[in-house]
Amino acid sequence: MKLPKYIDLAIVGAGVQALTLTTHLLQKRQDYYHKLLVFDPSQTWLSQWQRQFAAQQIPHLRSPAVHHPDPNPHQLRTFAKNRHNELFPPYDRPGTKLFNDFCHEVIHRWNLENKVYPAKVIHILPITLASRSRFRLILSTGETIIARRVVLATGSGKVQLPNWAERITSNYPTDKLCHSQQVNLNQLNLKGEKILIVGGGLTSGHLAKGAINMGATVTLMTRKQIQEKIFDADPGWLGPKYLKDFHAAINWNDRYQQIKQARNGGSMTPEIMLQLRRATREGKVIINECCQVSDAQWQDNLWQVNCLDGGKHQFNRIWLATGTRFNVTEHPLLQDVLETYPTKIVNGLPVLDEHLRLPKSNFFIMGGLAALRVGPVARNIGGGKMACQRIVPAIVKSSLAIG
């Protein structure tokens, strides 16, 4: 694919939300097919998403079958008509393979296979071109392209590490302590190992399950009591039930508190908890709730771990399922953009306009960083669809356009 000098719309990232935006935009305006390009170093849609699911051996999604990248909410159920055993109760949550096959079909049906340009965007510079504001994207290949509009759809979460992990002074093999995003169960031999997994979210549950299946003994350590929830945020956040009050709150700090409360750290699904309790009875898992590590050192080929409650433990490896944090000021692609388009920031989240643009700009943001507008589910698949309802009109309606 030859890179054009100019494009109307550049979408940075080729994940689920970027795919959702592309199909929703083309549904409204087919002529945008030749006006947009997606940038991702993998050259394929959803590669990081699929890699993560495979690495953590996740059997099915947490969200119901109506949440997916196609504009028609019933499309996935229709696609699964001969594969009902791959929809999991409750709410018909799609199996990982089913979801991947469906997304592949969506990409094919919308003819999007060649829409991803194989390069990483490493710099975005706001520029003025013929007295209009534009953005220059600098790519990892050394090429550049000018875009009228940019949508940042990269996920944008930064890996969060506990303080004690950042304080470790001893040298250790890098695969013996890592964030959950770096763990690939398919590449490990864990037989007979003792593993500490820190965190109380669904990721730690999946990793624990995977490690047990491979013959390891797991200690699961959580800062507070494990919460059991089918979804990470109540489904009421997808519609007016809770969003009415959320959108009525004009104080951005109030909105931030509502987001924090709704997500309330991580949670596990009832079915994973059932499996972990069974494994606990079999002696394969120890669950330490309301327990925190005070320090850890690598000695004699083992982690020597001290806890705040005075407990001392030894482990072969430590996995940190401690999530990601969203902070717009830490995003490498946003430094120059925020300088040109100053934006109010509340606890790391930008106050975007109602179409998810940085104020007075053609720079849109999807995902977790859009939470002050979209709500607590901004980073989820359903949140991607909600973001599209705000972004697409600003692109296709000239009355809402800027510059």
d(CA 237, CA 69): 19
Q: What is the DSSP string of 1-40?
A: -PPPSEEEEEEE--SHHHHHHHHHHHHH-GGGGGTEEEE-
Instruction: Band the pLDDT of 315: cuts 50, 70, 90.
Output: very high
Which tokens is 260 given? 């924090």
The structural domains of the chain, ordered by start, are 6-156+326-400 (3.50.50.60), 158-232+267-323 (3.50.50.60)
Q: Decide: 171 and 150 in contact? Cβ < 8 Å.
A: no
Mean pLDDT of 118-128: 98
3-state secondary structure of 179: strand
Residue 123 gets the label, from left (phi > 0), alpha (psi -120 to 50) or beta, of: beta
**pLDDT given for residue 219 in this prediction:** 98
Mean pLDDT of 190-210: 98
Can you give the length of the chain in residues? 403
Nearest alpha-carbon partner for 353 in 337, 341, 339, 336: 341
CA distance 128 to 132: 5
Record the pTM: 0.97
Q: Give residue-wise pLDDT tens across range 84-122.
A: 999 999 999 999 999 999 999 999 999 999 999 999 999
- Amino acid residing at 306: N
Q: What is the mean pLDDT of residues 309-337?
A: 97
In this predicted structure, the answer to whether residue 42 has a pLDDT above a threshold of 90 is yes
Hey, what's the torsion of the CAs at 265, 270, 273, 278, to 10 degrees? 170
> What pLDDT was estimated at residue 155?
87
Measured distance CA(216)–CA(154) in Å, rounded? 34
Q: How far apart are the first and last CA of the chain?
A: 29
pLDDT of 265 reads: 87
Residue of 29, 32, 28, 26 whose CA lies nearest to 9: 32
Q: What is the pLDDT of residues 157-196, one digit of tens each?
A: 999 999 999 999 999 999 999 999 999 999 999 999 999 9
**Residue that has been written with the tokens 């047990």 in this structure:** 212
